[in-house]
Amino acid sequence: MRLRYNFRLYPTPGQRVALARAFGCARVVFN
């Protein structure tokens, strides 16, 4: 988890959107 956060601290705008969608999908699946 911490490794992901480290990468997430330096994302490009496009990567940030992709990560947000990925985390959103994962959130729905886990819930």
pLDDT, tens digit, for every residue of 9-29?
A: 565 677 778 878 887 777 766
pTM: 0.39
Please give the pLDDT value at position 3: 54
Domain spans of the chain, in order of start: 1-31
Please give the pLDDT value at position 9: 59
Q: What is the DSSP string of the chain?
A: -HHHHHHHTS--HHHHHHHHHHHHHHHHHH-
